[in-house]
Amino acid sequence: MMSPAAEGVIRRLDATRQRWWFYTLLTSCVMGASLSLSVFLLFMLADALFQFSRVVLAGAFLIWLAFTLSILVWIVRRVIRGQRSLEATARRIEAEFPELQSALINLLQLLNDPRQANPAFCLAAVNHAAAQAARIRFEEAAEKQSRWERFRFAMHTSRDLLEWSGILVTLILISVLFGMLLPNWSSAASRLMQPWQFVPSVGRVKILSVEPGNTEVLIGSSVTITARVELPEKKTYDAYLFVAEEGKPEERFPMTPSKDLSEYTFTVPTVLKPVKYRVEIGDSQSAIYRLGVTQIPAITEVEVTLDYPAYLGRPSETFRQRVPDLRGPQYSEATLKIFASAPISAGEVVLDGKPIVGNVASDGRTFTVKIPLIRDGQFVVRLKNQAGQVDPNPRVNRVTVIPDQPPTVEIVKPGRQSTAALGDRIPVKIRIADDYGVGRARLEMKIVQENTPVGDSASDTEANREQNGYSGAGGSADNPEQTAVRLHEWESPSSPFLDYELVLDPARFSPGQKVALRAIAWDKRNFAKYGLDLRPQQATSAWHFVEIISPDAKVAAETKELENLRAAIFRILEEQIRAKTELVTLRDAAKQNPAVLETGLRNVRGRQVHIQGATNDVVAGIKDTDSEDRRTIKRILNSLAVNEMLQAVQQCDRLARLADKATFGEESQELLQIQDRIIETLRKILDVARRAQTELLAEAQKRPGGDLPDDVKKKLEEIQSKLQEFLEQQKKIIEASEELAKTPVEDFTEKEEQKLKELAALEDDWSRFMKEAHSDLSKLPEQDFANSSLCQELNEIQTELKMAEDALLKRSVDIAVPLEQLGYEMAKELTSNLEKWLPDTPDRERWSQEESLSDKDKEAPMADLPGQLEDLIGELMEQEEDLFDEMEDVSSSAADSLDKGAGWDAADGPISNMSAKGVTGNRLPNASEIGGRSGEGRSGKSSGEFVSDEAVGKGGRKTPSRLTPDPYMKGQIKDFSKDPTGGATGGGKESGQGGQGLEGPTPPPHGPRELQRLAGKQAELRNKAESISAQMQILNYHHTDMEQLIELMREIERDLQAGRYQNALRKREVVLQGLQRQKEYVGGEFKVKEDTTVNIPKDIQKEILGSVQEPAPPGWEDIVRGYYRQLISGGKSNP
């Protein structure tokens, strides 16, 4: 059992131990804090004075952190070691109080000894030790030791705690003092505690703000950095801007102070990448700011969808383009789908100062907006990026509106002033056009009495009445002559030309009146949107007047005009013949006296110039272009004037410049050929004019004969009935004749001869009837309704019947021609052309020509042929193949060239003629071989030269196939005949193509040069077409179809070069049809109109002179003014 005294010692000993550990713990902590703070304050002072870099700061921070951590470890270990046991505490006390000896140790051991062999002794010893310890204060053991010993043995007291607490407080006071003395003291602590990030040093200079701070700028743009400061003294401090790109060291740039030293600025010229920047002014630093770069959304591509107005009838069209410029029909709506190069947050379109908000797609790169195409204008697209930035100078885009122009309407036929006879049918042709199609067209008419003016105002038109709420096709009953009447109306016409036929009905019109025609057209415009309400636009043509005259007056006027035209052309022909005669005379005279050439050529040239001028006057005088004949005459005369007649004048000039006058005869041959062509063409024109006049007179005579007397009408009806019977009888006679013709006349039986006599008697009866009918008709009095050609036709029928009667009784004859009866003229020059007679009987003679004994008679001279062959065409009277045997003549190789004294009956015979004066008769050619030279005759066995320039096909026998080695002749025949002529022959001249081709072997093919010639000719045509297309483009004609035809011509040219003729032929038809449409579009149906009246209508005067008073277009005033100044000054610029 422990004594009370021992228990008290132990409590005192334990309390001392706990006090020492507690004060050691507190003192160690205060000591570690003081040491750590002292090191930290030391680094702070160094940074405040020298402003270490972040690397140095990081090193200092690591040193301080390591030191502090080591102190913490030391404190922990010291605290752990400072927890003593009672025995250790007793030893430290016995060491300080030697007088205790080992009393405290013995006391503890005796109390803890479980054996206690002598309890009494142990108790006494414990009490004795307790008595010794009771006299000593255990706390004084630590106080006896020095500070080092207390630190060493962890026996700190309150005194030690107080001392280190004082040191810590002193360090804190020193920090506060430095904070008061050094402005950047506080920032130094932050910099030292956060070395991994930049902490600005704040000195005496106060940086109030840095602009623009953390922001984003456009890539490539410049940025001005501005620092606003508060200076302790009004002096200039060193200021620098530090800029660093990612992964690169900082660059230092000096900043410029303002006048009042309140701002420092620096401008970064170009920012291409994100950068960080900070400002150092004096002893102060700013925070680090980030300057990012961003892109302004640029337009990479635009998808445009044009929604056309409904009245255009066109589907929506979508296309892509690089820029958002817009061009489209007026009143369309364009949907722009804009693709941006960078993400966008919003966007808008500013059109003529008015914003149009669009939508941004979910992908952030597509902007959609709708723009109406109402008028021309400008717009900009503003796309905002994620930072809300827009392009400060966006592209100005244009809106080009294709306006919906009003329609155009024009009456092409008839002219502005024309005449027509009562009862005529006047073709009215109206040309309409609109950029988007004509919706409706109308033809109106007024009947105007003579000397009654007609206004062009729209107040009296039916169209105006409809707009005012009235409708109807007729005029008012009070004044029908002055009210427009609707003749015809077309809804949605598809053709640019509208045709109408106005019949001048005698029941409605009368001579002396004028019919005024006018056309009105409306387009399809119908638009009600965007605050607009637009209806169809209207266009009205000018009035066209048709003066109604009597039919007799019309015929008389046209006949007189045609007569005058023929007279004028005949005078030109006479003059041209005189010019040619003078040239021929001059050639002969120049051989004897070359001196006469100059004067003679001057005279010939003067005649040719006068001929060309007279022709141009005639062309200009032809005004009526409705007649096909007159159009033909005008076209041919105009071509003659600008081609052959002009060439004749040029040839005269060339001959006048000849250096060698001896060659005049040869050199003038070309001029003679040109004159021949002119003469030939003028003769053909005269023939055309003659036919036109004849047709005009015949048309005038085809007037109704309703006023015939009863006896005359009855007589004509009887003749008509007899003629019908005559036709039936003739058919039977022809059938019977065909049966009889199969047998020669000499072999007829009695029955056949009787049949022949019956046919002859029947023909004789009809001949007498025709003679009586002719006599009766010829005795009729001359009246307007008589047909002058009827009597002549009956007379011809009578003559034919008489000939047929004689031919039925004629027998075949064989004519033998011995060699001694032959005679040869052998003409070397052809000087005369005698009369020719056609045979009027069937071919019943058979010629048997004896062959010549020498070759001399076979070689006839080839005389120069006249310029114009005179072949007469008769009608075939016999077509039967079974009569060929009787017609065959025994051929002979005899040849002659006849000229003088020879009259030409179209007789049969076997002699080959080289004078080319044969005529085409009524008989089929023989089956024997005949040679010579000739114009076109009937086909058959023959060899020689075809000398005419054209062939029309006159029938005959089929030519057998015999491909002879004869060479091709120079020249080309204009072959209009499509009749199959049989097989192939050798040599000859080129002509046209037949419908069936040739039998037998084919002629040798054309060479490569001919094939290339075809391709070259096609290239020339294509070049001409390209020239026409260029002119159409200059004149603002639609030429897209022409370009397609040109491309097709190129394909034809390639096909010809490659030998693909079938492809070329098929494409040729397409080209011809396309060119015909182009001709109709450009000029085929357009009529050149020239008003030759003395008093020009007021509307035309206004149309011609109206533009003089109009102002110059905006923006062109100075140019027009300068132009007229140049005209006045004669091209000399004023100083």
Bridge partners of residue 1054, in order along the sequence: none
**Percentage of residues in the chain having pLDDT higher than 70:** 64
Q: How far is CA 1073 from CA 316, 632, 1030, 1053, 1070, in A?
A: 32, 22, 20, 18, 5
Helix axes 596-621, 628-642, angle to 10 degrees: 150
CA distances from 268 to 216, 225, 250, 478 (A): 14, 8, 14, 92
Residue of 376, 367, 206 whose CA lies nearest to 298: 367
pLDDT score of 106: 66
User: Which among 378, 318, 320 is positioned nearest to 350, based on CA atoms?
Assistant: 378
- Average pLDDT score, the chain: 74
Bridge pairing between strands 514-523 and 544-549: antiparallel
The rounded distance, in Å, linking the Cα atoms of 914 and 944 is: 9
Which of the following CATH numbers is that of domain 419-457+478-549: 1.10.3470, 1.10.8, 3.40.50, 2.60.40? 2.60.40
3-state secondary structure of 953: coil
Q: Element (H or E) spanning 319, and its range?
A: strand 317-321
DSSP tag of 975: E
CA distance 609 to 579: 11
Output the DSSP codes for 520-551: EEEE---B--TT--B---EEEPPPEEEEEE-H
How large a percentage of the chain has pLDDT more than 90? Answer: 14
DSSP H or E run through 371: strand 366-373
82-103, pLDDT tens digit by residue? 777 777 777 777 777 777 666 6
Q: Which fold has domain 299-402?
A: Immunoglobulin-like (2.60.40)
- C-alpha 1135/C-alpha 1124 separation (Å) is 16
Across the range 882-904, mean pLDDT stands at: 44
pLDDT of residue 687: 83
The pLDDT value recorded for residue 333 is 92
pLDDT score at 431: 93
pLDDT tens track for 147-161: 788 788 778 788 888
Do 298 and 389 form a contact (C-beta atoms < 8 A)? no
| pTM for the predicted model, two decimal places | 0.41
Q: Using the predicted structure, report yes or no on whether residue 978 has a pLDDT greater than 90.
A: no
Q: Is 438 exposed, middle or buried (0-12, 13-18, 19+ CB in 10 A)?
A: buried
Q: Distance (Å, rounded) from C-alpha 552 to C-alpha 557? A: 9
What is the pLDDT at residue 781?
Answer: 44
Dist. CA 111–CA 127, nearest whole Å: 11
Rounded Cα distance, 164 and 148, in Å: 13
C-alpha distances (whole Å) from 280 to each of 201, 527, 831 are 9, 69, 126
pLDDT at residue 361 above 80? yes
Q: What is the CATH T-level fold of the domain 200-294, as seen in this structure?
A: Immunoglobulin-like (2.60.40)
If we measure between CA atoms, which residue out of 710, 889, 885, 896 comes closest to residue 816?
889
pLDDT digits (tens, 9 = 90+) for 196-218: 877 788 888 888 899 998 988 88
Q: Which of these ranges, 411-415, 940-944, 981-985, has the smallest mean pLDDT?
A: 981-985
Q: pLDDT: is 1087 or 565 the higher one?
A: 565
Range picked from 201-210, 313-322, 503-512, 623-632 for highest mean pLDDT: 313-322
625-642 pLDDT per residue, tens? 556 777 788 888 888 888
Pick from 544, 550, 477: nearest CA to 512:
550
964, pLDDT greater than 70: no
Residue 1042 · residue 1032 · CB < 8 Å:
yes
Q: What is the pLDDT of residue 1070?
A: 80
Confidence band (pLDDT; 50, 70, 90) for 982? Answer: low
Contact between residue 586 and residue 551 where contact means Cβ atoms under 8 Å apart: no
Query: pLDDT for 120-144, tens place per residue?
Result: 666 666 666 666 666 677 777 777 7
Distance, CA of 747 to CA of 477 (rounded, Å)? 87
| pLDDT of residue 708 exceeding 60 | no
Q: What is the reported pLDDT for 338?
A: 92
Per-residue pLDDT tens digits for 229-285: 988 888 888 899 999 988 888 899 999 999 888 899 999 988 888 999 999 988 888
Helix, strand or coil for residue 82? coil
Residue where the block lists tokens 């023929």: 566
Quick one: tokens of 719?
A: 């003749």
Q: How confident is the model at residue 1084 (pLDDT cuts 50, 70, 90)?
A: very low
Query: Using one digit for the tens of pLDDT, what is the confidence trace for 577-620?
Result: 988 888 888 888 888 888 888 888 889 899 899 999 999 988 88
230-234 own/partner pairs: CB under 8 Å, 24+ apart: 230/205, 230/206, 230/262, 231/205, 231/206, 231/261, 231/282, 232/204, 232/205, 234/261
Instruction: State residue 4's pLDDT score.
Output: 67
Lowest mean pLDDT among 207-221, 316-330, 421-435, 970-984: 970-984
Average pLDDT over residues 418-447: 89
What is d(CA 255, CA 276) in angstroms, rounded to the nearest whole number?
Answer: 16
Q: Express each pLDDT in 989-1031 by its tens digit.
A: 666 554 444 554 555 555 455 556 666 676 777 777 777 777 7
The Cβ of residue 50 has, within 10 Å, a number of other Cβ atoms equal to: 10
Q: Which of 116-130, 404-418, 663-677 has the lowest mean pLDDT?
A: 116-130
Q: How far is CA 1090 from CA 9, 131, 623, 624, 1094, in A?
A: 154, 163, 8, 11, 12
Q: In this structure, are strands 836-837 and 359-360 parallel, antiparallel, or unpaired? A: unpaired
Q: Does domain 554-701 have CATH number 1.20.120.330?
A: yes
Q: What is the pLDDT of residue 12?
A: 77
